[in-house]
Structure 1
Amino acid sequence: MSAGLLFSFVIGYFALLLVVAWITSRNSNNDTFFIGNKNSNWMLVAFGMIGTSLSGVTFVSVPGGVGDIAGGGFKGFAYMQVAIGYLIGYAVIAFVLLPLYYKLNLTSIYNYLKQRFGNIAYKTGALFFIISRTVGATARLYLVINILQLFILDRMGVPFVVTASFILLMILLYTFEGGVRTIVYTDTLQTTLMVTGLIVCVIYILSNLNISGGEALSQMHDRGYLNIFNFDVNSKGFFLKQILGGAFITIAMTGLDQEMMQKNISVKKLGDSQKNVMTMAVVMTGVLFLFLMLGGLLYMFALSKGGEYQDVLVNGQVVGKQLLIDHPKIPGEQLNVIGDKMFPSIAMNFLPPAISIIFIIALISALFPSADGALTALTSSFCIDILGLKERDDLDEKGKKKVRLSVHFSFAIVFLLCILVFYWLNNNSIIDIILDLAGYTYGPLLGLFSLGILTKRRIRDSFSITIVCLVAPVLSYFLAKYAKDLFGGYQIGIELLIINGLLTFLGLLLLSEKPGRDPQATVVPA
């Protein structure tokens, strides 16, 4: 299939998003941008947040991991351990955090820290969110933009910087006015297209292999792909680590994340927002299982086409595995399709043109909900939390809008610069490290909110909050680095976030005191 034809579908997709944005942004104001005038439909928010939660990285990484050999065996369906933790985390968000946010009528969730601990805690929490979301969102953007570049734009002779600029311009255009209200609808559209693409790919491969869904799962079981629970205590994949880690990742990266909660608190009633979260949690678990099933099918498809696992040797030592398959269009060339390369390589080289188009549209649909939401949430957080835009009396509504638009455009430029840095580094392991930073940057938020909600203590010296929030991630880093030597082979994995949050909590607890000693002190009820 020609790159030009594929690109025309991409352009058509953007045009559709711009039409939706134009319809939803009419008569918009600053409250429309920040919280959707608190009038969002909970069912639309629930469904649209599935796409936001999964992202383009999940779209290629979860299926690609199923048949990837790690630690002597396949990763299989082990990701379901984390998904079980997600369900627990979403329950905590629905029944602990959301009631608090609605009770305080928050526009930015970090305003809770201001009411509870003061202005420095508020600014510290907001800055940790801004840094974490900027790095995480641009890393995800880079990975997916790079796939589009390799399979479409390189063939057209378009430089990477032009591709990245074009995609960011499109995101900027359809979020510029409507903000959250627009994103609620575009996320719903994009999640629909993503899930549709997933289902179409599953059905096609089942048909090509001439097996039913039940037969496919049976064959995956025989190959070792269906393994879920890891019982090795020292392993990073130990099931209790994965479940607890999944729960706390959800609490921190959704419940304490302005991007994710901005959409939830845009729903008018608390009860509807809670239904939104729990509905989304259940549906997303089913979608993740479908992604894993697709992963198993992709590996079975590759093996049916003559794919073979081979050792990767470095200085005579086996350092990993690759899955090589003959290129269907270039005689004598082989493709390594293991891991993240699996889904795009099979979809673009071995499946019919119609399926390739569906894959590209689904991939973009997986990319955009995490990117547009991040851009909007970062604009909201910077305007409200750092600039204090809502409280400024020296600016009228028009002046505030001008500031908001300037901040929105500036973050788009920051996104572009970060993406170009990742491109110039040209090393996927760097991206993995950047994404792992979430464990370090969300830990202080977890500790801050935990102290505020679980205790009634206040901080004696507000500057010490920033110090603790900086020291805890550093200690967490050294613990993770030397854990294997210090604790008899134990490896810190997904639970790093919990350790970081606990260190922050304990540090703040040591520097806190009971309320009531200062007659002027006020404490927001936990």
Structure 2
Amino acid sequence: MSPALLFCILIGYFALLLGVAWATARNADNDSFFIGNKSSNWMLVAFGMVGTTLSGVTFVSVPGAVGADGFGYLQVLIGYVIGYIAVVYLLLPLYYRMKLTSIYHYLEVRLGRRAYQSGAGFFILSRLFGATARLYLVVAVLQSIILDSLGIPFWLTTFVILGMILLYTYQGGVKTIVWTDTLQTSCMLFGLFACAAFLLGQLDLSVPQALAQMQERGLARVFTLDANAPGFWLKQIVAGAFITITMTGMDQEMMQKTISVKTLKDSQKNLLSLTAVLVVVLCSFLFLGGLLYLYAPLAGVSATGDKIFPATVMGHLPAAVQIIFLIALISALFPSADGAITALTSTFCIDILGIQRRSGMSEAARMRLRHHVHLAFALLFLALVMVFKWLNDPSMIGVVLKVAGYTYGPLLGLFAFGMVTTRTLNDRLVPVVTIGAPILCALLEHYQQLVLGSYRLGLELLILNGALVFAGLFAISRRATARPAGGAVAANTPF
């Protein structure tokens, strides 16, 4: 298919997003940007969050990883379900009871100013690196299938895409993203199921027949029984639960949309619905990955990993399927990037700059400052995507999870300490603990063969990091003389 035609489709899709942004961002203010005026429809939020949760990494990397890991990702998915249930019944009631705009304000109320800033700072790091890794992967695919042939350099592609995202999130923020994410999730899921259905037709197989062939070729294996392996089933399930608790329940981007729903009950329905949909969708992505590896030898496709899906579609499937794939890929790109830039802007303005605490600052001045921060994060995204281009890792889902282990671990430790203890902290030493724990984890990972022998660290690095932060906070704490405000958490919290 002509790259020029594909490029026109890309521009048309962006024009549609701008139309949605114009319709939703009229008369938007800072409350609209940060929490959607607390009026978001829970069904729209739940459906749109599917796209944010999955992103381009899932769209390309999860099917690609089937060749090496089979259906092993199901082990992590089981943990995800456990984690979402914990977020629904443990964290959401806390956030609604405290009427939070930024969830890290809980850390200030419970543990002090330095804990609050540390939590916000680690969220900024985690989202910066995680979102830009996801963005890089999809931009790289778009570059290879469309823009290289048009002579457009990678940096310009990234610049233009970030400019697009900036344009449609600049005014409305969360109020706009709730609607654009719904549109984008619909397109992404249509692309997933359409590609899977077409491959089934090409292979002339029913779903049970395809699963039987995947099983014969070792593509459908799920559980890893070697306790020393990074993919050991128990480690994967436990790590999956903690990944969800941290990357959803302690993540401002995900919670910013969730707490934009008016009531706690609707917000809980939002996350439970999201969980059910994610199980179906992630299983479908794994099934699609199996189909790709069944089809690849027949079509002469030699690509593996992240490259097998785009290489198969763009090189061997009809034009209609290529258009569907392109729209789905773009739809997978935008939700993770637009939500991340919006959430980072919110966190930096509220938690670092204290925009809501500046009583002498006018609403217009707050909005100007928020616009400047929003633009600065877009430029920072551009720089970090270029760094990932230089690194060029073959499997970005591994990079995203590794980054999560180092940056969400301190958040896990901070929230856990606040919720399960009533102790008070030496606030000045909190940054030492939260920075020191990831450094210790990095040293342990580097020297793990010497220290751990045949055991290999995997996703449990996140839990270890959080445990080290918890232990460090306990060491610099003292027994409380009175129950802290908002801490441990409140009388009707199950901790």
TM-score bracket relative to the smaller structure? over 0.9
Q: Secondary structure at 2:447's aligned position in 1?
A: helix
**Secondary structure, counterpart of 2:459 in structure 1:** coil
- Alignment correspondent of 1:313: none
Contact 2:133 2:396 in 1 (8 A): no
Deviation, structure 1 residue 426:
4.2
Equivalence for 1:401: 367
Corresponding position of 1:448: 414
Quote the offset at 1:60 in angstroms.
0.6
Aligned residues, how many?
489
Q: Does 1:376 align with 2:370?
A: no
- 1:429 to partner: Cα distance: 7.0
Whether the aligned pair in 1 keeps the contact of 2:137 and 2:396 (CA below 8 Å) is no
TM-score, normalised to structure 2, is 0.96
Q: Which residue among 481, 487, 491 is the counterpart of 1:524?
A: 487
Instruction: String of CA shifts for 1:300-329, please: whole Å, max 9, x gaps.
Output: 111222x4xxxxxxxxxxxxxxxxx3xxxx
Runs of 4+ in 1 over 6 A off after TM superposition: none
Once the two structures are superposed, residues 304-361 of structure 1 have per-residue CA deviations (whole angstroms, 9 ceiling, x without a partner) of 22x4xxxxxxxxxxxxxxxxx3xxxxxxxxxx31111110000100000110111011
Distance of 2:35 and 2:104 partners within structure 1: 14
After superposition, the Cα gap between the structure-2 partners of 1:431 and 1:187, relative to the gap in structure 1 and judged at 3 Å, is closer
Q: What's the TM-score once normalised by structure 1's chain length?
A: 0.91
Which of 71, 76, 79 does residue 70 from structure 2 map onto?
A: 76
Deviation at residue 427 of structure 1 after TM alignment: 4.7
What is the Cα deviation at residue 385 of structure 1?
0.3
- Secondary structure of the residue aligned to 1:47 is helix
Q: How big is each residue's C-alpha offset from its partner over 1:415-461, in whole Å with a ceiling of 9 and x where there is no partner?
A: 111112222444547995575122111101100000001111110x2
What does residue 361 of structure 1 align with?
327
Structure 2 match to 1:30: 30
More helix by share: 2
Q: How many percent of aligned residue pairs carry the same amino acid?
A: 56
Answering whether residue 60 of structure 2 is matched by residue 66 of structure 1, we say no
Q: Residue 155 in 1 paired to residue 149 in 2? A: yes
Q: Which moved more, 1:59-68 or 1:104-113?
A: 59-68
- Indicate how the Cα distance of structure 1 residues 433 and 206 shifts in structure 2: closer, same or farther if over 3 A, else same: closer
The whole-number CA distance in structure 2 between the counterparts of 1:123 and 1:510 is 20
Gaps of 5+ in 1: 69-74, 308-324, 326-335
Quote the offset at 1:29 in angstroms: 0.6
- Structure 2, unmatched stretches of 5+, are 490-495
CA distance in 2: counterparts of 1:389 and 1:477, whole angstroms: 35
- Tell me if 1:173 matches 2:136: no
Q: Is the 8 A contact 2:306 2:394 kept in 1?
A: no
Q: How does 1:229-378 map to 2 (within 5 A)?
A: 229-305=223-299, 307=300, 325=301, 336-378=302-344
The Cα of 1:162 is off from its aligned counterpart by 1.3
Residue type matched to 1:46 in 2? A
Question: C-alpha displacement at 1:485, in angstroms?
Answer: 3.2
The answer to whether the 8 Å contact 2:305/2:394 transfers is no
Higher strand content, 1 or 2:
1
**Which structure: larger Rg?**
1
The equivalent residue for 2:88 is 94
Shift in alpha-carbon separation, 1:391–1:269, aligned structure 2, 3 A: same
> What secondary structure does 2:67 align onto?
coil
Alignment deviations for residues 95-151 of structure 1 (CA, whole Å, 9 cap, x no partner): 000000000000000000000111111111111111111111111111110111111
8 Å contact kept, 2:58–2:397? no
Alignment equivalent of 2:206, drawn from 200, 203, 212:
212
1:422 corresponds in structure 2 to 388
Aligned to 1:3: 3
Return closer, same or farther for 1:406/1:182 CA change in 2, 3 Å cut-off.
same
Mapped pair 1:50 → 2:41 = no
Give the secondary-structure state (helix, strand or coil) at the position aligned to 2:230.
coil
- Tell me which amino acid in the other structure corresponds to 2:109: Q
1:164 matched to which residue of 2? Answer: 158
Residue identity matched to 1:107: T
Task: Report the AA paired with residue 25 of structure 1.
Answer: A
Question: Alpha-carbon deviation of 1:400?
Answer: 0.7
Map 1:100-111 → 2, pairs under 5 A: 100-111=94-105
User: What letter corresponds to residue 423 of structure 1 in structure 2?
Assistant: K
> RMSD in angstroms over aligned alpha carbons?
1.5
| Alpha-carbon contact 1:139-1:435 (below 8 Å) kept | no
Q: Is the contact made by 1:456 and 1:523 (CA closer than 8 Å) also made in structure 2?
A: no
Is contact 1:115-1:524 (8 Å) kept?
A: yes
Deviation at 1:234, TM superposition (A): 0.3
Where 1:105 maps in the other structure, the secondary structure is coil
